[in-house]
Amino acid sequence: MQFLSTIWIFIQDQILGMKWLSSLIGEFLYSIGLDTSGKIGGSVQFFIYDVIKIVFLLCMLIFVISYIQSFFPQERTKWILGTFHGIGANILAALLGTVIEKLHLENQVEEFIRNAKQIDILQEELTVKDRIKYAWEQVVETLKKVFPYILVGVGIGAFIHNWIPEDIIVRFLGTGNPFGVIIATIVGVPMYADIFGCIPIAEALLAKGARLGVVLSFMMGVTTLSLPSMIMLKKAIKPKLLGLFIGICIVGIIIVGYAFNAFQYLLI
């Protein structure tokens, strides 16, 4: 059992967490005269380490998902959804990224979207080389879009990690504040970042003593309910559907946040 625990810790720290990279960057910064134990040096180390780590993990994740997605063209997705009914169909539809049609809210989507013509092109059988090319193109395209947000998110995380006093974060988002989940959700709304840009902020908040559920609520609030996202959605969907979406998301985020707070001792 101890052996398995040691293996898991190694995987978590050195493979997933890439702690070796942090040490390597720290040694490099020290060699050029920057003290990583200080605020400035620590922030620089945090920034470089998290940017490299997040970009690497993001590229790997997108590549794998895109490769799998290449097996599911639009026609096949429709056929799969058509064979399921009830709650199973709703769960599968959510996993495949389709939900509006199943909820019968088509009339809440703006006319110019509903009237847009869809062209179904029969997909020829792709080779492994074709699928790899498609997956790599998705990696490049996605990285171009989210990289600026990664830089912003890591910058905010580095600031929180090394410059904001721990007692301030604990006071508002820590154990003692029963409204921490709600506050974190609301604070995330005016921000705009990709989920990978939120990861370093989450790491910094956890390191400062914020509860797990609070951190998750903040991340979900930023990525799901950000004000710029709502403005863009308003151009595509009508107020009723937008309000329903926001309401469901807020309730879901708060429930998830308090649930993870309650069971944090089992997870960390």
User: For residue 170, is pLDDT > 80?
Assistant: no
Q: Can you tell me whether residue 109 is helix, strand or coil?
A: strand
Residue 268 lies in a domain: yes
Structure tokens belonging to residue 252: 């879901």
Residue 136: predicted pLDDT: 92
Average the pLDDT over each of 59-68, 124-133, 138-147, 170-179 and give the range with the smallest value: 170-179
Cα distance between residue 239 and residue 98, in whole Å: 20
Residue 263 lies in a domain: yes
Residue 259 lies in a domain: yes
Residue 122: predicted pLDDT: 46
Average the pLDDT over each of 59-68, 116-125, 134-143, 197-206 and give the range with the smallest value: 116-125
Residue with more model confidence, 173 or 118:
173
Q: Number of structural domains, the chain? A: 1
Q: Which amino acid is at 198?
A: C
Structure tokens belonging to residue 246: 């926001």
Q: Which amino acid is at 189?
A: V
User: For residue 259, is pLDDT > 80?
Assistant: yes
Cα distance between residue 77 and residue 110, in whole Å: 24
Residue with more model confidence, 258 or 1:
258
Other CB atoms within 10 A of residue 180 CB = 25
Q: pLDDT tens digit string along 217-245?
A: 888 887 788 665 676 577 667 888 888 88
The percent of residues in the chain predicted with pLDDT above 90, rounded, is 3
Residue 29 lies in a domain: no
Cα distance between residue 224 and residue 230, in whole Å: 9
- Note down the domain range covering 248: 164-268
Residue 129 lies in a domain: no
Residue 101 lies in a domain: no
What are the residues whose beta carbons fall under 8 Å from the beta carbon of 263, sequence distance 6 or more?
A: none
User: For residue 116, is pLDDT > 50?
Assistant: no
Degrees to nearest 5, angle at CA 33 with 29 and 34: 55
Q: pLDDT tens digit string along 185-219?
A: 887 766 655 565 677 777 777 777 788 888 888 88
What are the residues whose beta carbons fall under 8 Å from the beta carbon of 154, sequence distance 6 or more?
A: 46, 47, 50, 51, 54, 197, 200
Residue 196 lies in a domain: yes
Mean pLDDT of all residues belonging to the chain: 75
> What DSSP line would sit under 125-155, residue for residue?
PPPHHHHHHHHHHHHHHHHHHHHHHHHHHHH
Residue 11 lies in a domain: no
Q: Which amino acid is at 247?
A: G
